[in-house]
């Protein structure tokens, strides 16, 4: 097996879907052959302690300016070059297109080693291709890559439409550890902490942004409360849209029924899924944004692994994360009425909740455990 290097700016303790995806995948690979190169961040050393993943964290400067980004990219390149020359790296995986893709291209030209790029959807939109140079450079990075590793059929189609052959765009679906995310009763101390005793719980675990659809859930609460006065909405995560959501909840008179739980460590997430009755994330597409679409939606399958019915938006890769009619429902992410109808249907029928949750659990065990994705990466590394 060839020694490989994953270059990524999204890696724990950085919180993002990409970060979770790459960590969960790489921690199952042989550390003798697979290394991660990522910037130093607060809490990084503590996160790495005791983990089996071989991680090298390079110095980086904070800031969003172009010069800072350039300096950090140069530092990252020299670290990668050192690993190629002295540690025998023979293949590079780029966690994102622009910086790690450019490093991969340089490594290919200088050292003659291939690079592969992860893509998540939306990279070929006008927001990213904002000018003739960015379009030109993106095409060079993409076309020189050994493969574009896509995370869903939806994501693959974007690059097929962009002109890449299917054999260059393999799909590696995000997965879940079905031995960690399991059905069960939530711990009593969590019930007390969140004051959920006797409540019917809706839950969203996601970065708080407009694309995730938290606001639709909040808009649905007044009508849902008429039918289910014991309903409570828990939001796990942080993000730029939190202030707007708090104002919306106050305007609608439902702030008491919406609890912002903030950041929750990964090891505590299964208990939050077990705490809820329904997992909801009516994701939508946001036009003209770099945060435009859901490439997949790992939280859907985490909830399914815990045997909870899920509700997602009929948008992006969520249509693959949610098996409509099996593990949950896909809805128009702009329709409060449809959302209310589905939630009411599930909360009024505990047997239906149990049936759909059980079907979701079976689907995860049979198709979406991380071990299947690990096998694919190991085949590419040979």
Residue 376 to residues 17, 96, 170, 317, Cα–Cα distance (Å): 20, 19, 10, 20
C-alpha span between 234 and 243 (Å, rounded): 15
pLDDT for the residue numbered 58: 97
Contact 33, 4 (CB under 8 A): yes
- CA-nearest of 304, 315, 322, 311 to 346 is 311
> Rounded distance, CA 346 to CA 349, Å?
5
Rounded-to-integer distance, Cα 379 and Cα 382, Å: 6
Give the global pTM.
0.86
For residues 83, 89, 90, 94, the Cα torsion angle rounded to the nearest 10 degrees is: -70
Q: Can the peptide bond before residue 13 be classed as cis, meaning omega within 30 degrees of 0?
A: yes
Length of the chain as a residue count:
382
What is the Cα 93 distance to its own chain's centre?
Answer: 18
Phi, psi dihedral angles at 333 (to 5 degrees): -70, 0
Q: How high is the mean pLDDT in each 10-residue block of the chain (382 residues)?
A: 91 90 92 96 95 96 87 96 97 94 97 95 63 81 93 89 89 92 97 97 96 97 97 96 97 98 94 98 81 84 98 93 96 97 98 98 93 78 68
Query: Token pair for residue 370?
Result: 């991380």
CB-based contacts of 279: which residues, under 8 Å, 6+ apart? 202, 203, 204, 205, 273, 299, 300, 303, 308, 309, 310, 311, 328
Q: How far apart are CA 101 and CA 295, in angstroms?
A: 19
Q: Please provide residue 58's backbone torsions phi and psi, each rounded to the nearest 5 degrees.
A: -95, 155
pLDDT score for 289: 63
Model pLDDT, residue 247: 98
215 burial (CB, 10 Å; 0-12 / 13-18 / 19+) is: middle
Residue 67: Cβ-neighbour burial (10 angstroms; 0-12, 13-18, 19+): exposed
User: How far is Cα of residue 357 from the mean position of the Cα atoms in its chain?
Assistant: 21
The residue with tokens 């770099």 is 290
Strand partners, 231: 200
Q: Into which CATH architecture does domain 188-367 fall?
A: 3-Layer(aba) Sandwich (3.40)
Strand partners, 353: none
pLDDT of residue 381: 67
Alpha helices in 113-268 (DSSP H): 132-144, 153-161, 188-194, 214-227, 242-251
Q: Which fold has domain 3-172?
A: Rossmann fold (3.40.50)
Among 179, 186, 176, smallest CA distance to 302 is for 176
Q: Assess whether the region 3-172 and the region 188-367 belong to the same CATH fold.
A: yes
Domain limits, the chain: 3-172, 188-367
Which backbone phi and psi does 233 adopt, to 5 degrees?
-115, 115
């Amino acid at each position: 097996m060839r020694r490989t290097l994953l270059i990524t700016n999204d890696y724990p303790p950085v919180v993002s879907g990409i970060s979770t995806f790459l960590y969960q995948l790489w921690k199952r690979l042989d550390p003798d052959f697979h290394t991660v190169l990522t910037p130093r961040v607060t809490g990084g050393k503590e996160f790495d302690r005791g983990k089996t993943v071989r991680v090298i964290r390079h110095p980086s400067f904070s800031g969003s300016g172009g010069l800072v980004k350039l300096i950090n990219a140069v530092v990252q390149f020299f670290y990668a070059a050192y690993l190629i020359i002295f540690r025998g790296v023979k293949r590079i995986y780029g966690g994102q297109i622009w910086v790690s893709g450019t490093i991969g291209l340089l490594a290919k030209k200088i050292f003659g080693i291939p690079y592969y790029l992860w893509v998540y959807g939306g990279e070929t939109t006008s927001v990213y291709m904002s000018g003739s140079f960015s379009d030109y450079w993106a095409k060079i990075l993409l076309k020189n890559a050994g493969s574009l590793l896509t995370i869903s059929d939806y994501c693959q189609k974007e690059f097929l439409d962009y002109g890449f052959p299917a054999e260059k765009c393999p799909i590696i679906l995000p997965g879940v550890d079905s031995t960690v995310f399991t059905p069960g009763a939530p711990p009593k101390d969590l019930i007390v902490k969140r004051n959920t005793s006797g409540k019917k719980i809706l839950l969203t675990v996601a970065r708080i942004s407009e694309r995730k659809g938290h606001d639709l859930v909040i808009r649905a609460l007044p009508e849902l409360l008429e039918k289910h006065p014991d309903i409570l909405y828990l939001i796990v995560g942080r993000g730029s849209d939190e202030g707007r959501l708090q104002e919306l909840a106050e305007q609608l008179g439902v702030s008491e029924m919406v609890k912002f739980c903030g950041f929750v460590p990964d090891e505590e997430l299964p208990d939050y899924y077990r705490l809820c009755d329904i997992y909801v994330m009516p994701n939508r597409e946001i036009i003209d944004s770099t945060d435009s679409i859901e490439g997949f939606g790992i939280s859907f399958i985490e909830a399914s692994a815990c045997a909870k019915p899920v509700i997602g938006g009929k948008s992006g890769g969520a249509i693959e994360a949610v098996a409509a009619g099996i593990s949950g429902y896909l809805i128009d992410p702009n329709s409060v009425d449809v959302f209310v109808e589905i939630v009411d249907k599930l909360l009024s029928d505990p047997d239906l909740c149990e049936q759909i949750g059980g079907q979701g659990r079976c689907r995860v065990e049979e198709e979406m455990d991380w071990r299947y994705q690990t096998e694919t990466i190991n085949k590419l590394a040979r």
